[in-house]
Chain A
Amino acid sequence: GIQVEQSPPDLILQEGANSTLRCNFSDSVNNLQWFHQNPWGQLINLFYIPSGTKQNGRLSATTVATERYSLLYISSSQTTDSGVYFCAVESPSRNNNDMRFGAGTRLTVKP
């Protein structure tokens, strides 16, 4: 099945810093989403971005489907950005409609 790799696995930032999280995937995808799991375990959908670039406040994401990667940018990070960021992809396999998750990037933003 499709493989999803996220980097870095852990990231520690000072408040106000910028960061880039990367997601590589091994095959073409129908769907790619970025999620933030906050320290309370809640899973929040950030972007649905199978291709192109989207922005939402301090967050933006770019997916280059032809090169099989996606980037999540966090600017002016805040302590509330802490948590685990997951990339999930859905392959266009006929019998497989599930999302495959990467292992996540654990972000800690220090005040």
Chain B
Amino acid sequence: NAGVMQNPRHLVRRRGQEARLRCSPMKGHSHVYWYRQLPEEGLKFMVYLQKENIIDESGMPKERFSAEFPKEGPSILRIQQVVRGDSAAYFCASSPSLEYGYTFGSGTRLTVV
């Protein structure tokens, strides 16, 4: 089992560009979670998805951020018109069900220049 795969590992975008972060959960995991870690801070919840459904997006900024988890393919976290404050590490986690713990990917480090 390859674990939770995130790509790219590092992403550099200029202000105003779009960033797309991908997360492939572990095989058999249908619950996906996205977290953001700002420098020198802990992880903050952004969004919880199950296949084709957004369950909880209470941690997502109201504008420019969106997430999806299609029936086929990885979960995508999309940030439009990036700003310097979006620079952070974005972690994806997956779980087979609510009764099990989370497994995290290695993260995508987004740098906005």
Please list the residues of chain A having a beta carbon within 8 angstroms of any beta carbon in chain B.
Answer: 30-31, 33, 35, 41-45, 48, 86, 88, 95-104
Contact = CB atoms under 8 A, between A and B. Distances in A.
A98 B33 contact: yes
Contacts of A41: 89, 106-107, 109
Contact of A101 (B42, B48, B58, B106): B42
A48 B98 contact: no
A45 B109 contact: no
30 contacts: A30-B98, A31-B101, A35-B104, A41-B89, A41-B107, A41-B109, A42-B106, A42-B107, A43-B43, A43-B104, A43-B107, A44-B104, A45-B102, A45-B103, A45-B104, A48-B101, A86-B43, A88-B43, A88-B102, A95-B56, A96-B56, A97-B56, A98-B45, A98-B56, A98-B58, A99-B33, A99-B93, A100-B45, A101-B42, A104-B42
Chain A residues touching B, majority SS: strand
Nearest to B104: A43
Interface of B: 31, 33, 35, 41-45, 48, 55-56, 58-59, 89, 91, 93, 98, 100-104, 106-107, 109
Contacts of B59: 98
Nearest to A47: B101
A102 to B, nearest CB: 6
B39 to A, nearest CB: 11
A99 B98 CA distance: 11
Given A42-B106, A98-B56, A101-B44, 5 more contacts: A41-B106, A96-B56, A97-B56, A98-B59, A99-B93
A30 B95 CA distance: 14
List the 5 closest A-B pairs by CB distance, nearest first. A48-B101, A98-B45, A43-B104, A101-B42, A101-B43
